[in-house]
Each structure stands twice: as C-alpha cells, then as structure tokens.
Amino acid sequence: MRKILMIGIMLLLSLSSQAQEENYISLYLLNFTRHIEWPEETREGNFVIEVLGHVSVYERLKELAEGKKAGSQPIEVRNYMSASNVGKPHIMFVGHWQSRQMQEVLQKIEGHCTLLVTEQEGMIDKGSAINFIVREGKIQYEFNKDNALNRGLVVSSRLWQMGISQN
C-alpha cells in the first residue's frame, strides 16, 4: 500500500511539473511577440502561431491568447499533428515528439518570415531560432540569432540577453 501511495505521489508531481512546463512554453511563445519585429508585409490579417503536435501547449496557448493582439493583429493559434498541414505562420512551434518532422517544417516555411521554436536538444543546429531546454530543473531557451535574422526577423537585445546564445 505504501509503495502504491509513493508511486501515486510521484506521478502527480510529474504531471504537475509537465503542466508547469507547458504553461511556461505557452507564456514564452506569447511574450516572443513583444520582442520580435516582423517585416511590414506580414503585419496584415491575423498574427498566426502554429503548434505542431503538443496539444496541451496548443490548448494553453489558445486560452492565453484569447482576445490578445501582437501589435495591431489579433492572435490566432492553430494546431496540427502533421507538418503537411503547416501554413505560413508568424511563429511555428514544433513539439518534442514532432521533431522528426523538422525537415518538412523547414521546407514549408522556407522563404517566409517565421520564427521557428522547438523543444528538442540539437534543433538549434537544424534551423530553429529558439529552442527550449531544461537545465538544472529550469526551463530556459537557447537561441541562434542568425537563424532568426535569415528569416527577416528583428529581435530585441533583451530577448537575446535572457537566453543562452548558440552563435
């Protein structure tokens, strides 16, 4: 009985930690809209954030973005399970389990001013501008400034100062 109770407590702590991680990722994604400037031609219509996989991040992000704007653009959040559905978002978040679709995502957003955000070790070297990592129990992000600049994005120095530079 004691063993079952311990397993139950550990499971609850794990679920709580995972929910906290999803909340942080969602908050970061929204805050990135304040620290990045997209080209003028992308400032019409809705500001689109697409989430590949990671349904819980999508649900939390959708809830947080309700009624919010990025500049003057209403924020629209979309979720897909397949890279074949990816459009031309302002921000593209590729969940951990969907990292195997990274090559197809890169092809889909080629030539577009999309901030590519991931959460898998090594994705920063495969084209991601921002990659979430867990270090010493804390969620942080690493960034590759060149990957953002190559997509026509202007990033505030404050955003870079808060992350871990990879170039």
Q: Which of 149, 153, 96 is nearest to 119 (CA)?
A: 96
Q: Report d(CA 131, CA 142) in Å as an integer.
A: 5
pTM value is: 0.86
**Integer angstrom CA distances of residue 8 from 1, 2, 14, 20, 23:** 11, 10, 10, 18, 23
Q: Report d(CA 138, CA 117) in Å as an integer.
A: 18
Fold of 22-165: Rossmann fold (3.40.50)
Contacts of residue 91, defined as CB under 8 A and 6 or more positions apart, other chains included, come to: 29, 32, 33, 48, 49, 50, 114, 115, 117
The pLDDT value given to residue 164: 78
By the 8 A CB rule, do 129 and 151 touch?
yes
Below-70 pLDDT ranges, the chain: 1-19, 166-167
**Looking at this protein, which amino acid is placed at residue 70?**
A
Domain segments of the chain: what residues?
Answer: 22-165
Task: Tell me how long the chain is.
Answer: 167
